[in-house]
A and B are shown apart, each in its own frame.
Chain A
C-alpha cells in the first residue's frame, strides 16, 4: 500500500518497498512495479490526527513535545530535569516504548541539540542499533549523546547529516571538507565571506549550536496591535479607521488557532494631561472593553460593537495612539448565521464550521463538486474533499479547443443503472426500467465512446431515446450499451 499526495507517492509500506516502490514515484511508475499496489490519497487530517495522538502520548513522558514542522513522524522532545525520574536513559526507554506503538523500528536519541539528536537517531539504527561510540548506549534504537558533546559527536559525521544550502553542500567536498567537524573548524568570518548567512547557519549547526528547541505548550501571546498616530486627532473617525484593520488582523490569527474573541480592549493614548495630574505628566491612556454575548470569530459583528462603543466615547483630549487587544479568548464554536446577511459571509467561520463537520462526521463528509476532463458522462463530475488542492479542469476539447461542455442529461446517474431494452429494426424501441415499460417514440444514435485502452477500456454506444407521448409528459432517456448490457445514464424530465 502507498499514500499519494500531489500525484506522487509520499509514503509506502515495507511490503511495497520490497517490490521497489518508493516514495516520490508517480502512480503509473509504482504500479508498473507492483500491479496490485493499493494507492490511497495522503490524508492530511488523518496524519494530523495521528501526530496529535502521538504527541499526546509523548506528553506522558515529557512536558515539552514539538512535532517537527514539515517532517511528519519526527518530534523534538524536551529531556531536561529527568534526573530524579531515572535520567535520560529512562526517558529514552519510555519514549521508545511509546513510539513503537506506531512504528516497530522507531528510534530515539538524546542530545543537547536537535541537529545532534537527529543525527544520532540514524546512528542508533534499528533493532541492530549501535549503542557504542561517544554516547552512552541505551539499547537498540536508542542513542544518548553525552551532555556538552554535540560538537564532538557530530565532528566525524558526514556533511550529509547537516541541513545546508545545496551549493554549499557541493562545494565543501571539492575543498576537501567532508565531515561536519571540518566545517566546524573553519573561521566563522571565512564561512560568512563565502556562503553568507546560510553558510553561517550551517556552521553553527556543525558546532552543535541549534536554536531549535522543544517547547512546552505554546503560551498564549499577547494579542494586541499598537498604532501611534502621526498627529493627535480630536475625533473618533480616524480611530475607527485604525481599529478595523487591527481587529481584523487579530481575529485572523485567532481563528487560525481555532479560537474566538471573548472580549476586545481598546486603549486610547490621550495627548493632554488631565488636570488632576502634574503639569509635566506624560500622556496617559484610557482603556475600555467590549464583551460580546458569546465569543466571536467574525470581524463584522465584533467591529460593529467596537464602533458603537467608540462612537459613544466622549474624548477629553486629542488621541495620539490606539491599542487594540483581545485579552480573553475562547475556543471557536459554530454559530447560526443568516444567509441574507452579507456580514455572515465569513470564510474563517466557514472554515471553522467545515472543520467541525469533518471532525464530527469524518474527513469525507465535506465535499464539493468538481468538473473533470473525461469523455464518459458519469466521470465528467466528481465530489472531492474540500481542501484537497487538485488542479482545476482544463476543458480543452479535441475538436476546437474551446472551454465548453454540455450536459448530456439533466439528471445524470452517478452509477449507470442496468435497463432492459427491446430493439426495433435498428434502434431501441422499448425500455424496461425501474419496473416501468417505457415505449419509445424515437431513438437517435448510436453515439460512440471508446477509450482508456491503456488502463481498462470502455466501449459504449449511446442512444438518445424519446418516450412515446402517452398520458403524461414524454421523457427523454440517455441509454447506452456496453458489452452485453444496456444501461440508463440519465434522463430529462
Chain B
C-alpha cells in the first residue's frame, strides 16, 4: 500500500560482487543486472575484488537493461600500520578514474605474489583522480579500526582517505542482521557526524538472489580448501548478502534515510560508462616520410612479385588494389604491418608458421607471406575476411610450430613493451566434471566417490550434469527440504500393491534397472565428439552471456517498476525456491522485512529415491541430505568462473598503456602477462586481437624437414610441393592416414575411401566436409553420392551453379553461403557477411527470422521460388558458423598434403618427428609406432647407450620399405634410416629428467650401469624405471634376452645403494643375478607399463594362439573377408567415439598385431553394455562385417572383455575427445 503523496526513495547498490570476485561471488554480472532491473534500481555498481573481468558483460547487460552500469572494484589496500590488507571500494566517475582503477588493479596484481593482490595507500593516492571511494566492507581500513575499538584511529584513517580522494569519499554502512555489524555501524556513523562526511548504505552483495547463498557457501569452502562441515564461522552467519529492493533497504534504514539518498547522489556522480573507452593500435615504426598505407603497398608489391613473378594478371592487380583501398579506408594498414612483422620474425628464426582462417581470403595476406593460399587462383571471397560494414579489424590467426611459439610471443612482448601488449585470458568456468568434483569435495565425499560421480558428469555442462544426477523423475535438486513427502508416496504405493515385500522387491529391481540405464546414459553422453561438445559449450556460453545464466525472462510482475515494493521474483528454479525459503536468505519483501517471525519452513519430508537417478548404482544413498545437496550445488556452480587461464594464443596491443584499458596480471606461466578480459570481451571495447597459435603438426613438419636434411642430405621446400603426387593420394584413398593432420580421425578415415581425393581441392573439401556444420546440414552423404556418381548433380537454382559447381551443388563453405546471398538475393558483400555472422551466433530468433525473410524476398525478386529459397536458407544456416570458410580449409589442406607427402616418402623421419612432438594428434605413440612398423620402419628400443631424450634416427642395416619407389621425385628415399626411441618415451622419470640426461650426455656416452647411476642424476625410482623399460639392457649383454632388464634392475638396486661400508663382508666371486627370465607376455606388459608401446610384441600376440583356433580373425584377415560375414575380432580399444551427430551410435577402433578394425555399436547394444565398452581395454567382438568399397566396419553384436596380462591396461586410448 502506497500512501498518496509519499515520494518513494530509490536505491542504488554501490557494492556488488559478481562471480568474477573469484570464489567470493555467486552470480554472473548478467544475473545481477537482471535482478537490479527487476527490482527497479536505476543503476548498479559492479565492484569485484581486484578484478574488472566481468565489467564488459556487466556493461553490456546494463545497457540492454537500460540501467546505469557503474564500473568499480573493491581494491585490496595495504594501509600504513594496518594489521592486514584491507578493502576499499572505488567507483569510476570519469574515464581517467576508470583508467586509475585498472592501473591500481594492475599494480596490485603485478607487484604482489600471485593470488595475493594488494597496493599501498601511497599508490592509491597517486591514482585517485576521477574516483569516488567508499570505506568498504567490515574488512575495510576504517571499519576494522572501529571494530577494534580504535575510534580515534578510525577517524584519522577516514580523514586520510578524505584527503587522498579530495572529499570524494563516503563512509559505507551495512546491515545484515548481525549484532557485530550494527556495533561497527554505530561507530562509523559517529565518525561521519564528527567529520561531517557523507555516508551511504550498501548491502555488500555477493549473490543476486537468496538461493545464491548455497553457491557462495560452497565457493567459500572451496576457497578455504575445507569441507562445509569444517568451515564453521568462516561461512557467513546468514543469507542476507543478496541484492535487495529499495523497499527492503528503506525499511531497514528507516531511521536514517540519508544513507539511502546518498547512494543515488553517488551513482549520479559516477557517470563513466565502458562504451567511452577508445583503445587504439600501436603505431608501426615506419621509414621517415612514408605512411603506413604506402609502406604496406610497397611490401605487397614486393610480395606479389615473389608470389606471382613478373606477370601478375589483371585479376591479381585488381584484387590487390581493392584490398589495399579498403584497408586504407578502414585505417588498418598498421594492423597488417604488425602481423607481417610477426611473421617476418618467425621466418627469420626458422619457426614454421602459416596464417589460418579467413585471412587466406586476402591477396594482401598472401603477398605479405602471412598465408600460403593464393586466393585469386582459388577464387576465394575477400569479403569473408574484411568488409567495410564490419568496421573492425579482421581476425588474423597465425599458426606457429608449437614448440617454438614462445619465441614469437616473447618477441611481441619485447617489440611493443609489456605496458602495451598482453595475452587474452580465458576464464575457466565450472563444467560438469569440475562441478561434481568440487561439490563432492566440499560435502566431504572421498576422492573415490568424487571420481565415481564424475563418471556421470556431462563433460561440458554443470547444469546438464545436475539434471542427470537428479534423474528423470528425480528431485533435480529440489531434494533439500522435501524429503519425507516423496518417501511417503513410495511407501503408499508399495502398500497399495498387495504384498509389500513383493512390491518392494519389484520396485527395487525396477529401480536397479532404471539406475543401470541411467548409468549407461550418463556414460554414453560423455562420449560426445569433441567438436559437437565444443559447439554445445559455445552455445551454452553464448546463452549464459545473453541470458545472464538465468533461463527465463523476468516477468512483468518482477520488473514491476515501482513494484519494487511488490513481491520479489520467484527464484529461478523450484530448487532455488525451496532452498531460498529455508536458508534464511529468503526474506520475502512482500512481508515486512524486519519482522520477528522468520518464514515458516516447509515441513521436513523425506524424498523418494529418484527413480532413474544413477546415484544408487554408485552406492550412494539418495536419502542422505548431502547426496541430495550435491545436485543443487552442481546446478548452482554452472558456468561460475573458477580461475583464470591464458587464452590459447590471443594477443592484444594498444597504443596507450594497456593497463589503463584493462588490468593486466601475471599468468601462471613464467614471462607471460594476461589481461582480465576474454576474447569475447574485446570486440565491444574495440580491442584488436591477434591469435598467435601453436600447432603441433607444424612442429612435426619443421622437425621432419630437419631430420631429412640431416639423415639424407636433402633440403625440402614445402612451398614448392606440387600437390599432385598420386602416390600420396593413394595413401589417402586407402585411409592410410594415421598421424596425418586433420584426416586421421575415425570419421575422416571412413570418408576418405568414399571421397577418393585425387587433387588438392579434394583435400580442401575433405577437411571441410567432416565438420558439425555439413554433418548437421546433412550435406556429407549427398556430396559423397554425387562424387561417386550415384546421384545427379543438381542445383537449387541455375543462378547458383557457378557458386556451387565445385562442390557438386552442395554448399559446404561459408563463402558459398555468402555468395548465394549476394548472387541470388542481391545482398552486398558486407550484408552477406553480416548474414553469416547472424546465422552463426543465432543470437536472436526475431533477428534471424527477419534476415531469413529478407533473404527469401531477395531470392524471390531474382526468380527463385519461396520454397527453394527456404531450402537454400536452411542449408546455409546449418553450417554458417560451424562449417569452415573455404580459405581456412585450404590452409589446412596444405598441411594435410605436406604431412601426407612427408609421411609417404620419409616415414622414419616423420615418425621420429611426431613422436618428439607428443602429446598431439589423435593417436597415442604406441599406435603411431605400430603404424610406422607396418609401413616398414625399423623402430629400435630405448637404449641408454644410444638413445637421447628425443627419438633419433640411426643408420639402417636392412633395405627400405617396399612402397618407397625409386621412381618418385622425392630425393633420397632409398636411404631410409631407423628410428631409435628416446628416453622421453619412458613414463615417470620426473620433470627434470630431460635436463639431467642432456647434461650427463655432454660427458660422453654411458659405459656401465654404475656410470649411469653416478652421472645421470635420476632418483632411485627413475633409475628403476630406466631398467624396467629396458633402457639399460645393453649393460646386461651377457644375459639372455629375456633376463636382461631384470639383471639390469638387480644391478641398479645395488649401485643406487652405493658402496658397501668398510666393515661389510667381502663379496665372493660375482654371481649371476638370482632373477628369473621374463615370460614374453611379461616383457610386453613391462613395455606397455613403462612406455605405452612394445616392440617385443603386441598384447594380442600372446592371445592369438588361443583365439585363432576359435575363429577370431586378425585385422589382416578381416581385410580379406567379404561383406555380410559373421566374424569375431579382438584387440586393444585405442579409440572410442560417440559423435553427437551419429544418433547415439558408438564407434570403437580395435588394434591388434596386424592392424586396425573398426567397430560400430548401436545405441541399444551400447546401453546394455556401456560399462564394459567404456572401460575394458581389450575386447572380443562378434558381429556382422559391413564392407562398402574400401570401408570396413564390424557391426558389433556381442562383446566380451579379454585379459592378456600383457599390459593392455596401460595402453593409452583416444576416448571421447
Contacts and interface: CB of A to CB of B under 8 A. Distances in A.
A91 to B, nearest CB: 39
Interface in B592-627: 592, 594-601, 619-621, 623-627
Interface stretch (A50-58, A168-176, A321-329, A335-343): A168-176
Contacts of B213: 453
B871 interface: no
Given A176-B1046, A189-B1065, A426-B596, A456 B446 contact: no
Given A175-B1075, A459-B584, A446 B233 contact: no
A71 interface: no
A28 B445 contact: yes
B1081 to A, nearest CB: 13
A395 B1024 contact: no
Contacts of A405: 233
B583 A484 contact: no
B595 A450 contact: no
Contact of A445 (B446, B585, B596, B1086): B596
B228 A454 contact: yes
Nearest to A457: B582
Contacts of A455: 228-229, 625-626
A15 B302 CA distance: 84
Given A185-B1074, A455-B626, A33 B619 contact: yes
A251 B843 CA distance: 84
B234 A398 contact: yes
Interface stretch (A349-357, A368-376, A381-389, A432-440): A368-376
B178 interface: yes
Interface in B1117-1173: none
B1057 A196 contact: yes
B1040 interface: no
A28 B444 contact: yes
Interface string B434-449: 0000000001111001
Contacts of A190: 1054, 1071, 1074
Interface stretch (B116-124, B235-243, B831-839, B855-863): B235-243
A80 interface: no
Interface in B1047-1069: 1049-1050, 1053-1054, 1057, 1060, 1064-1065, 1067
Interface stretch (A19-27, A101-109, A285-293): A19-27
Given A428-B596, A481-B598, A32 B621 contact: yes
Given A399-B139, A448-B584, A453-B629, A25 B600 contact: no
Interface in A222-257: none
B144 interface: yes
Given A28-B444, A193-B1057, A446-B596, A176 B138 contact: no
A294 interface: no
A461 interface: yes
Contacts of A393: 232
B598 A461 contact: yes
Question: Interface residues of B: mostly helix, strand, loop or mixed?
Answer: loop
A192 B1058 CA distance: 12
A195 to B, nearest CB: 8
B177 interface: yes
A20 to B, nearest CB: 4
Interface string A59-71: 0000000000000
Contacts of B232: 372-375, 393-394
A350 B1074 CA distance: 59
B147 interface: yes
Interface in B50-90: 84
A405 B228 CA distance: 20
Contacts of B1076: 176-177
Interface size class of A (residues with CB under 8 A): 35 or more
B480 interface: yes
A29 interface: yes
A454 B178 contact: no
Contact of A453 (B214, B220, B597): B214
B233 A448 contact: no
The interface centre, meaning the residue of A395, A448, A449 with most chain B CB atoms within 10 A of its CB, is A448
B626 to A, nearest CB: 6
Interface in B613-662: 619-621, 623-627, 629
B144 A484 contact: no
Contacts of B481: 457
A194 B596 contact: no
Interface string B169-185: 00000001111110000
Contact of A454 (B236, B446, B629, B1046): B629
Which residue, A25, A193, A393, A399, has most C-beta atoms of chain B within 10 A? A399
A20 B619 CA distance: 7
B1195 to A, nearest CB: 37
Given A32-B445, A190-B1074, A450 B238 contact: yes
Contacts of A392: none
A401 interface: yes
A449 B621 contact: no
Contacts of A36: 623
B227 interface: yes
A29 B630 CA distance: 12
Interface in B487-507: none
Contacts of A185: 1074
A360 interface: no
Contacts of B1067: 189, 193
A174 B1024 contact: yes
A306 to B, nearest CB: 45
Contacts of A427: 596
Contact of B598 (A33, A426, A460): A460
A186 interface: yes
Given A397-B233, A451-B235, A426 B619 contact: no
A361 B1128 CA distance: 73
A309 to B, nearest CB: 48
Contact of B1024 (A171, A186, A374): A171
B1028 interface: yes
A25 B448 CA distance: 10
A357 to B, nearest CB: 31
Nearest to A380: B233
B621 A375 contact: no
Q: Indicate the member of A405, A459, A483 with the most B CB atoms within 10 Å.
A: A459
B1078 interface: yes
A481 B626 CA distance: 26
A400 B594 contact: no
A34 interface: yes
B1075 A176 contact: yes
A459 B177 contact: no
A20 B446 CA distance: 13
B976 interface: no
Given A26-B446, A426-B594, A399 B1053 contact: no
20 contacts: A28-B229, A32-B620, A33-B621, A171-B1053, A175-B1075, A193-B1054, A194-B1050, A195-B1053, A375-B232, A398-B234, A398-B237, A426-B594, A428-B596, A446-B596, A450-B583, A451-B583, A454-B480, A459-B601, A461-B598, A463-B596
Interface of B: 84, 138-139, 144, 147, 176-181, 213-214, 217, 220, 227-229, 232-240, 443-446, 449, 480-481, 579, 582-585, 592, 594-601, 619-621, 623-627, 629, 1020, 1024, 1028, 1046, 1049-1050, 1053-1054, 1057, 1060, 1064-1065, 1067, 1071, 1074-1078, 1082, 1086
Given A36-B623, A394-B232, A483-B598, 12 more contacts: A32-B627, A33-B621, A35-B627, A187-B1074, A190-B1054, A192-B1064, A373-B232, A455-B228, A457-B583, A459-B582, A459-B584, A463-B596
Interface of A: 19-20, 25-29, 31-36, 167, 171, 174-177, 185-187, 189-190, 192-196, 372-375, 393-401, 405-406, 423, 426-428, 445-451, 453-457, 459-461, 463-464, 481-484
Across chains A and B, which 7 residue pairs bring their CB atoms closest together, nearest first? A450-B584, A28-B444, A373-B232, A448-B177, A35-B624, A194-B1053, A35-B623
